[in-house]
Amino acid sequence: MRWEASVFSLQRLALLDELDRRGTLAAVAQALSFAPSTVSEQLAQLEREAGVRLLEPVGRGVRLTADAHLLLGHARVAMAELETAESELAAARDRVAGVLRVATFQTVALSVLPAVLTDLAERHPDLRVDVAQREAGGATSGLHGGDFDVVLGEEYPGRPVPPNARFHRVDLRGDRLRLATPAVGPWSDATTLEALAAAAWALDPVGTAPGDWGRDLCRTAGFEPRVRFDGVDLITHVHLVRTGHAVTVLPDLLGAENTAGVRLRDLPGRPERTLFTLTRASRAGHPAILAFRDALAAAIRGERS
């Protein structure tokens, strides 16, 4: 075999990886801001490069063949090696620079992220940090696809996040979860979950870790919560509790400044969620990621890195 015949386009291999994760050509095109025809043409070219069939029709869509999965396994190793090389080259420089793309959830963005950004701006002025607020599922998918370099995650009691060999995880701390009721008015005197069986609840949606955990918490206490307010914005939840329209569960990390006018009580067993960061394992040693993780850990401890 001549050397030229064994060279594949990394961009096309990345498209195949995206298709494997997202399931449809339309989803890949939307995620990457490509025309669907462009995605199809690039994958057809990859088939010509490989000399084997990589996609087969299924209904109105396509799926990867066994040969495609074989190729993709090797491609992922190659792409990870290139990222590792990039990290090692960056570590050899005398400054931390470039663009770091971070996905986070709301409580981190409200509480410690400003201190992290200030710290990094002072210590590493050549590093630009771009932040997106995302829910866990979308953020992890973006980490797979290279849209993000670091993802902030949360793990709720009894709901472990499955390990992934492609990711490097660092746990930050436990974050106590507390029952939140109005300071005055309806439900303000409730001291147990059972006393709130008839209350209106504000919870995250079904299918999210905090939403499912909150509903299970109520079911364990013997009732199905009357979820009157369904959404991911904890500041809205706090406002509804403060004004006497709901009760909810809040994490300590949200902070006293964001929970004024709300009465917080311990829950049975004093449950905590675990906060963590994820990055692709091949980039775990990149100086920008190390600097961000150090600054974040210091901010959560209440000190500068």
Domain boundaries along the sequence of the chain = 3-88, 175-273
On whether the CB atoms of residues 125 and 117 are closer than 8 A, the answer is: no
Higher pLDDT, 80 or 70: 70
Q: Is the pLDDT of residue 259 over 50?
A: yes
Cα–Cα distance measured from residue 237 to residue 144, given in angstroms and rounded to the nearest whole number: 31
The CATH T-level fold of domain 175-273 is D-Maltodextrin-Binding Protein; domain 2 (3.40.190)
Assess whether pLDDT exceeds 60 at residue 304.
no
Q: What is the rounded distance in angstroms from the CA atom of residue 166 to the CA atom of residue 278?
A: 10
Who's near 48: CB < 8 A, 6+ residues apart?
Answer: none
Task: Tell me the average pLDDT across 29-55.
Answer: 84
Cβ atoms 259, 178 nearer than 8 A: no
> Who has greater pLDDT, 116 or 86?
116
Q: Do the Cβ atoms of 280 and 83 come closer than 8 Å?
A: yes
**pLDDT tens digits for 164-214?**
888 999 999 999 999 999 999 889 999 899 999 999 999 999 999 999 999
Q: Is 182 helix (H, G, I), strand (E, B) or coil?
A: strand
The phi, psi pair for 54, rounded to 5°, reads -105, -25
Residue 220 has pLDDT above 90, yes or no: yes
pLDDT digits (tens, 9 = 90+) for 104-120: 999 999 999 999 999 99
Contacts 24+ apart (CB under 8 A), 234-241: 234/106, 234/107, 234/258, 235/106, 235/110, 236/202, 237/180, 237/202, 237/203, 238/180, 238/262, 240/202, 241/180, 241/181, 241/182, 241/202
Per-residue pLDDT tens over the stretch 121-132 = 999 999 999 999
pLDDT higher than threshold 60 for residue 55: yes
pLDDT at site 193: 95
Q: What is the mean pLDDT of residues 47-56?
A: 87
Instruction: Give the CA-trace dihedral at 287, 288, 292, 294, to 10 degrees.
Output: 10
Q: What does the pLDDT read at residue 305?
A: 40
Residue 130 burial by CB count (10 A; 0-12/13-18/19+): exposed, middle or buried? exposed
Q: Is the pLDDT of residue 30 over 80?
A: no
Q: Where is pLDDT greater, at 141 or 242?
A: 242
Strand partners, 102: 131, 150
Q: How far is CA 72 from the centre of its chain?
A: 24
User: Please, which pLDDT band fits residue 5 given cuts at 50, 70 and 90?
Assistant: very low
Specify the DSSP element, H or E, that contains 138: helix 136-145
The pLDDT of residue 251: 96
Distance CA 229, CA 240 (A): 9
Share of the chain above pLDDT 70, in %: 95
Provide the pLDDT for residue 7. Answer: 62
Q: Is the pLDDT of residue 1 over 60?
A: no
User: What average pLDDT is seen over the chain?
Assistant: 88
Q: Which residues share a beta bridge with 279?
A: 168
The closest of 287, 297, 298, 300 to 124, measured between CA atoms, is 287
Q: What is the pLDDT of residue 153?
A: 92
Q: State percent of the chain over pLDDT 90.
A: 58
Helices 287-301, 66-91: axis angle to 10 degrees equals: 80
pLDDT given at position 71 = 86
Confidence of residue 99 (pLDDT cuts 50, 70, 90): very high
Domain 3-88 fold = Arc Repressor Mutant, subunit A (1.10.10)
Phi and psi at residue 127, in whole multiples of 5°? -100, 125
